[in-house]
Each structure stands twice: as structure tokens, then as C-alpha cells.
Structure 1
Amino acid sequence: MTWLRLDGVTRRFGGKDALSGLSLDVEQGEFIALLGPSGCGKSTALNCLAGLLPLSEGSIWQDDVRLDTLPPERRGFGMVFQSYALFPHLSVRRNIAFGLQMRRLPRAEVRRRTDEAIKLVQLEEHAGKLPGQLSGGQQQRVAIARAVVLEPSLVLMDEPLSNLDAKLRLEMRTEIRRLHQSLGLTTVYVTHDQEEALSMADRLVVLRDGRVQQIGTPEELHTRPANRHVADFMGYRNLLPMTVTAVTPAVVTVEGAGLTLRGTGVGTLAVGDEVVAAVRPEDLQVGPDGVPVTVEVVEYQGRELAVEARTAQGTMLHLRAVERPTPGDRITVVADPARVLVFPA
């Protein structure tokens, strides 16, 4: 495969669009993450790509071959499911070899490729065990090996880490990225975890209500979200309804709920417009000459503290602090104008 194209891919259930007009070009070797909250259409997109759901509209192409008219088994894709979907009565080796045997490959070829896949996911010591004798991370590695042993043109992963604990998630993130790079795989990966997507993907596709909100590199989406919905999903927890009071080519000044902020406008804005100011918690700092707030909740997070504080007008702010405040304390917070984004409401 040199390229894959989704052209206006749409899927309806009961007359309602679960996925609407998804268009995307994927280059060979790319790692694409479909990102969004539950119900946004990301798993629907993956199932349409895999052939598990027929399209309502649109088409899918691979190197000038139309795929959406082919059954799943003829598309040649590897799939890693959220639930692992391993055969409980088969050993690790037999689980991984199953797809090769179904393709009636020579026995020596099946053995060679199975051995290579087991070594790749570092499960040599567990090759004879049943899935029930493995940890969650080991089972996930078996599922990944079963997908890549087929040497597919595309690997599809549907939230494969969501059932793992925090430590295993970090380990498996690194493992998946290592396999992707070492094998030169083309991968489409579904997740609702923005940190996971940022750390693994070459490009992200953010979905909301079945529609694409933004496509770009992790850096682009992290620093320049296209709208308030992308900003919300990319960590801008402070989304504040405000009104524009001044506009210059470089800075937009907004006021509301007892706050005055200066930031960067996204789109065309004018004085009097209703807007949403977006600020990440780490970009709100405790400092002099700021907005007075009352601390309500303090959470210890290692190097820093997550703080929830409320203004006199009742607006809740999420911020970070180095020194521990006490619930009930009165502090003042400031925001760097270069780190505040202002979106049309």
C-alpha cells in the first residue's frame, strides 16, 4: 500500500448520521489517531474501514482499488480489538498462527512468521500458555502479534489500551509505537485519551457528533485548536463565556463574570461579540495583580498541585500551583495573553 483514501465516508443508523462526510488521505507508514469523546463516530469510522459496517455514502480507496465494495477478509487489514478477542482454548502460539493457517500457508512459513511475531512482542517464555494464564498487557501483546503476523497493509486498533491499568498503558503505548516504527506499519488507532493520541500519532483526526473538527499534527492541535470543541478535548479546561471589549491585530481583550483577559483571537472577532476564552490549567498562574479567587479543591499530582478555585461571581477556574494552598484561601491568578485563545461563541 502506498496510500489510502477515505472519500466522504458516511454511516447512518435509523436515519441519523453516526459518521458524516469523513475524508482523509493516509500515507504509507503513517500513524493516524481518531480522537474524540464516546459517541463521536471514531469506532464507526474504524468499522467502516475494516468492512464490518457498510457505508451509507462515500467510498474507500487503496492504491486505486475501491475497498468498500470488498468483504472484510479481502481487504487484508489487521485488527486489534478493545477486548483482545483471543481464543481461550488456544495457546499464545496457536492464537498468533491462526490467521496464517486459515490462509493455508505452508507449515514452515507459518512457523517462521509465528516465531518472529512472538519474538517481536517479547513473549517467547509464554508461547505455550493459554490466554487465561497471562496478564492484561501480555494478552494485548498477543492480540497485536496476531494482527501484525499477517503482514497487513493496514493495522486497525480500537481502543486497545482502555482495559489496562495506568502503568501497563504507558508500557504498551511505547510498545505499540516501537512496533509501528520497526515494522513500518500503517496504523489507524481509535482512542478517547488525548495524551495517548498526542504521544503516539503522526496526525490526529478529532471527531465530534460524527463530524471532523480538525485534522493535523499533535503540535498543531495542541497549540492551535480550530474551535472551542477541539480546545476542550485538547486540555483547555477553562472555557469561559465572555464578551469582546477591544480588538487589535495582535490581541483581543475580553470581559465577563468579573474577569478581564487578553488573548489571541481565532477567526474574525469584533467588539461586542460573544466569545469563549480558552485557557489550560497550567497557563493560569498564582501571581500578583491578578483575579482574586477562593480555593475550593486541592489535588496533589506529584510535581504540582491541581487547584479548583472560584471567583466572586461564581466562575470556576482550574489552575496549577507549586505551593500548596488550603481550601478557603484567597489567592490571585493571572494568565499569559500568549496562552489564551478566544473563539467565537
Structure 2
Amino acid sequence: MSFTSLSLKGVTRRFGGKDALTDLSLTIDHGEFIALLGPSGCGKSTALNCLAGLLPLSGGSIWQDDRRLDTLPPERRGFGMVFQSYALFPHLTVRNNIAFGLRMRRVPRAEVRRRTDEAIRLVRLEEHAGKLPGQLSGGQQQRVAIARAVVLEPSLVLMDEPLSNLDAKLRLEMRTEIRRLHQSLGLTTVYVTHDQEEALSLADRLVVLRAGRVEQIGTPAELHDTPATAHVADFMGYRNLLPMKVSAPGTVEGSGLSLPTKSTLPAGSDVMVAVRPEDLVVAPGGVPVTVEVVEYQGREVAVEARTLAGVPVHLRTADRPAPGDQVTVAADPDRVLVFPA
């Protein structure tokens, strides 16, 4: 069933009097890929399960255009779901796993065959159609789970951490595969993950949650470059989160560092400063730090150093410092984000 937009209006879910999700309001356009992002326990899977109809709402409503969904049982919402655990039937072949939902809906036999063949081709499992799940790799099983969801031609596909059981190389491959399927089928997708790199590479927009509340909604570029809070910055890879003070207009000091900034907060303000490791550069005339740990990462090394005040800082450099070396670091004021403490 096609739709123009899906709206969550003040969606709230409580468990035993405690809010697991508070006042989530979000409009998803048809064909959009939305990632719900945040650490364990932030409410992202709760939001997905509320959408799927697996959890009743404690407050708010869900609408698909002018059709109210939150009062409908899961099977009448017409959504496809891909679980972290794959949830395949072990005694059914790949083909029969994919066809199962169509048969339950009493789709004519010829149509079941056509749509199942198409889904198998889409996820590139033609050679494995007659195998049982136990004969497949984790990545292949995940493809079956995705094919089983999309074969129903759902108006919305819900994915709950679908790649978390795969190794790093497979995760990368499946990420590309999910994006390819999303684009080729024009699917509307809501995707839960705690992996910011995964979310940035897949989603059109990200919803960052913390303790059941929305911290920020935006495009990957907006969240990467201009996180709204120190929490979002932390989650988006700003590993240097340092308590400092605005010492003068355009300068922050503290934690053994002095850095330039474009912040307009008044002098004397207590602040939290966020800098990505790649934006803290080794440069002459900077602030001295002592190298403690060096990790080889190909063209660069990741360095953990300590300031003279004993505060750890993270940087990346093409140089090859050794533990115990003293280097001086600096940062571009555009790259030094400042949040009120």
C-alpha cells in the first residue's frame, strides 16, 4: 500500500511507570531511509516495536497519511520486519522461507512463484534457493530475512540491528546491499542501529535518541558537522570531550589545553568542548602533550596522549610518534565545537 507520509505524533511508551520512549514526533516521507541511532537502552528498539505494533503505545498516535495505525494489529499494518536474529524457519528452504508470508496471505500460486523468484534474484541467492538456513553463512541468512520482508511489497520495512551478528567485512558488504535494495525498490525504511558509521552511510536522515528522548534529527552531514549537543557530538565520533572555560572571545582553556574557537559564548562561561581526533593536528607552536598509546591504522596512526594537566586526548597523524614523545597540537577554530556546560 503506497502512502505519502508516515507520522509519529508524541509517541510515548512506559514500562512500569518509567518512560522508555517520550514524546517521539517524526514525519517520514515515502521512500525515505530513517535511522534510529543511540546507545543501548535509549529507546530506539522500543520505537521500532511501537511502529510494528508489537508494543501498544502509552501515549500519542501513528498515522499513515490519514489512516490511523496504532489502533491496528501488526498484521494489518502491512509492514515488513527484519530482525537481528534473522528468525528463519530452520526446516524450510531459502525459497520456502521467502514464500511463507505470501502463502499465509493466500496469494495465487503463480504469483507466489514470480515474486519469490524476483526476491531471490534481488538478494543474489539464486544458487542457494534449495538450501536450508543451517547450510548458509550469516550474511546469506540475513539476505534471506531481507528477501522475506521485501517479497510482501510492504509499505514500510523495519530493520532492528540487522547487521550486528555479522563480522566487520560482511557488515560492510551488507550495508552496501541494503542501500542498493532500498534505492532500487524505492522502499521506505526505518533502521535501528547503535553504529554511527552504519547510520551515516545508509540513512537519508538520522534520529539520535538518548534516554527515550530525541536529541537531534537531521541529515548525516548535519549530524556529522553540527551536532546539537555534546551527547550527539560524542556519539558522532568527537572523542575529545573536554570541560573547559571561555577565557576570552574566541578562546577556550582548560584540561591542559588552549584552543581557538568560533563560539560566541561570553568569557567566563563553563563549556564542554568537542574535537574530532582527526581535527587535533600535530603542529609547531601548539599545546604540548605527551604520547602514551600509538595504534597503527594504515596511512595514519591513532594516538592517545596526555596534556600537562593529565587529561587524555585523542588525535590522528601521518607522523609516527613513539610512546613517551612530546608533541605539540593545535586545531582549526572551525573544528572546535563548544557547548554550554
Band of TM-score, shorter chain: over 0.9
1:27-78 deviations in whole A, cap 9, x for unaligned? Answer: 0000000001111000000000000000000000001000000000000000
For residues 228 and 323 of structure 1, the distance between their equivalents in structure 2, rounded to whole angstroms, comes to: 29
What's the TM-score, normalizing by structure 2? 0.98
For residues 97 and 16 of structure 2, the distance between their equivalents in structure 1, rounded to whole angstroms, comes to: 37
For residues 291 and 256 of structure 1, the distance between their equivalents in structure 2, rounded to whole angstroms, comes to: 12
For residues 341 and 300 of structure 1, the distance between their equivalents in structure 2, rounded to whole angstroms, comes to: 27
Query: SS where residue 264 of structure 1 aligns?
Result: coil
Q: Shift of the alpha carbon at 1:257? A: 2.4
Q: Within 5 Å, give how 1:84-163 maps onto structure 2.
A: 84-163=86-165
What's the TM-score, normalizing by structure 1? 0.97
**Number of residue equivalences:** 339
Q: Within 5 Å, give how 1:168-179 maps onto structure 2.
A: 168-179=170-181
Q: Within 5 Å, give how 1:38-57 maps onto structure 2.
A: 38-57=40-59
Query: SS where residue 188 of structure 1 aligns?
Result: strand
One-letter code aligned to 1:288: P
Unaligned runs of at least 5 residues, structure 1: none
For residue 260 of structure 2, what is the aligned residue in structure 1? 262
Matched, 1:289 2:291: no
Q: Shift of the alpha carbon at 1:336? A: 1.0
Runs of 4+ in structure 1 off by over 3 angstroms are none
Unaligned runs of at least 5 residues, structure 2: none
Q: Shift of the alpha carbon at 1:258? A: 2.4
Q: Shift of the alpha carbon at 1:200? A: 0.6
For residues 207 and 293 of structure 1, the distance between their equivalents in structure 2, rounded to whole angstroms, comes to: 34
For residues 196 and 161 of structure 2, the distance between their equivalents in structure 1, rounded to whole angstroms, comes to: 12
Query: SS where residue 134 of structure 2 aligns?
Result: helix
For residue 325 of structure 2, what is the aligned residue in structure 1? 329
Question: Percent sequence identity over matched residues?
Answer: 83
For residue 339 of structure 1, what is the aligned residue in structure 2? 335
For residues 260 and 327 of structure 1, the distance between their equivalents in structure 2, rounded to whole angstroms, comes to: 23
Q: Shift of the alpha carbon at 1:169? A: 0.5
Q: Shift of the alpha carbon at 1:233? A: 0.4
Query: SS where residue 261 of structure 2 aligns?
Result: strand
One-letter code aligned to 2:145: A
For residues 328 and 131 of structure 1, the distance between their equivalents in structure 2, rounded to whole angstroms, comes to: 52
For residues 14 and 240 of structure 1, the distance between their equivalents in structure 2, rounded to whole angstroms, comes to: 36
**Residues 256, 310 of structure 2: 8 Å contact kept:** no
For residue 221 of structure 1, what is the aligned residue in structure 2? 223
Query: SS where residue 38 of structure 1 aligns?
Result: coil
One-letter code aligned to 2:172: L
Residue from 269, 273, 279 that aligns with 2:269: 273
For residues 197 and 172 of structure 1, the distance between their equivalents in structure 2, rounded to whole angstroms, comes to: 13
For residue 312 of structure 1, what is the aligned residue in structure 2? 308
For residues 52 and 297 of structure 2, the distance between their equivalents in structure 1, rounded to whole angstroms, comes to: 40
